[in-house]
Amino acid sequence: MKLTTFLLDGQQRMGIVTTEGVLALPAAAGNDIGALIESGLSADQLRNLYAEAALVPDGSRLTYLPPVVNPRKILCVGLNYADHTKESPYDQPDYPTLFLRVPTSLVGHAGAIVRPLVSDSLDFEGELAVVIGKGGKHITKEAALAHVFGYSIFNDGSVREYQFKSPQWTVGKNFDATGGFGPVLVTADELPPGAAGLKLETRLNGQVVQSANTSDMLYDVASLIAIISEAITLEAGDVIVAGTPSGIGWARDPKLLMRHGDVCEVTIEGIGTLSNPVIDEQMQ
């Protein structure tokens, strides 16, 4: 099942994406996939809501939001593809490179990724996003995939100049409205275990700039959950952003960076396409 969160005529709703279009779930089901996951509702119970869903009419004012609008934690993984590490200024670490994003950095499908006033170094990073369905601590690798609710797509827009101002990447990864997320959350039962073996492709203005397979990740989804939960209690609705392959704009000569008027798309096989226009930040 493909779930989505959106504004419909200004009201936040949840829905199911089908070949017919977006089916809005009844308001009684709630308006936030994150809260739905926290409630413990199973995929089978979600399917029972299908009969009560209504097709969003053509012409309706529908605005996609991040599938999980306000996750408690967004845990990102750097240097998780060997080819990307080779194009970076780093040696390959023997432990996942973890950093955090904050919800104010997120933007939904078709929403604008904002190039900040203070820097001209906004870069793209297409990535797989993992949404936790059942929390826990010290989760074993063997049990880890049972804790996954579903998968989505992420564009980890990075302001490189600020990312490299210090050894910590936090600022460069958390400018407002730089992290594209969506458009859907695909329940884990509809994809291969750990979302392995899926083609991942990033395009800037229609040009392919990244192409890889999720099986190329050095730390697969189960390993990431096990390693992270050694230190951090995972909670329902948490998001793990699993890393980007090679092809980033900062590593090219000349550099290829996102600018006002560009459109960046990330496609993952079996999930869909996340598309975001790029606009310049406006002085307030």
DSSP per position, 60-72: --EEE--SSSS-S
- Number of residues in the chain: 284
Give me the CATH topology for the region 74-280. Answer: Fumarylacetoacetate hydrolase; domain 2 (3.90.850)
pLDDT of residue 264: 98
pLDDT of residue 30: 81
The tens place of each residue's pLDDT in the chain, 284 residues long, gives 999 999 998 899 999 999 989 999 888 778 889 888 988 876 677 777 777 888 998 778 899 999 999 999 999 999 999 888 888 887 888 999 999 999 999 999 999 999 999 999 999 999 999 999 999 999 999 999 999 999 999 999 999 999 999 989 999 999 999 999 999 999 999 999 999 999 999 999 999 999 999 999 999 999 999 999 999 999 999 999 999 999 999 999 999 999 999 999 999 999 999 999 999 999 87
Please count the other Cβ atoms lying within 10 Å of the Cβ belonging to residue 142: 9
- The domains of the chain are located at 2-64, 74-280
Burial state string for 30-48 with b = 16 or more CB within 10 A and e = fewer than 16: bbbbbbbbbeebeeeebee
Please give the backbone phi and psi of residue 210, each rounded to the nearest 5 degrees, phi first: -140, 135
Instruction: Answer for the pair 187, 197: CB distance below 8 angstroms, yes or no.
Output: no
Q: What DSSP letter does each residue of 163-229 carry, written as one string?
A: HTSSS--TGGG-STT-EEE-S-EEEGGGS-GGGTT-EEEEEETTEEEEEEEGGG-SS-HHHHHHHHH
pLDDT of residue 89: 83
Please count the other Cβ atoms lying within 10 Å of the Cβ belonging to residue 146: 13
Helix (H), strand (E) at residue 75: strand 74-78
Q: Whole-angstrom Cα distance, residue 131 to residue 238?
A: 6
pLDDT of residue 43: 62
By C-alpha distance, which of 14, 272, 263, 276 is closest to 128? 272
Residue 108 CA, chain-centre distance (Å), reads: 9
Instruction: Answer for the pair 106, 183: CB distance below 8 angstroms, yes or no.
Output: no
pLDDT of residue 72: 94
Query: Where do runs of H (alpha helix) occur along 49-100?
Result: 82-87
Q: Where does residue 222 rank: exposed (0-12), middle (13-18), buried (19+ CB within 10 A)?
A: buried
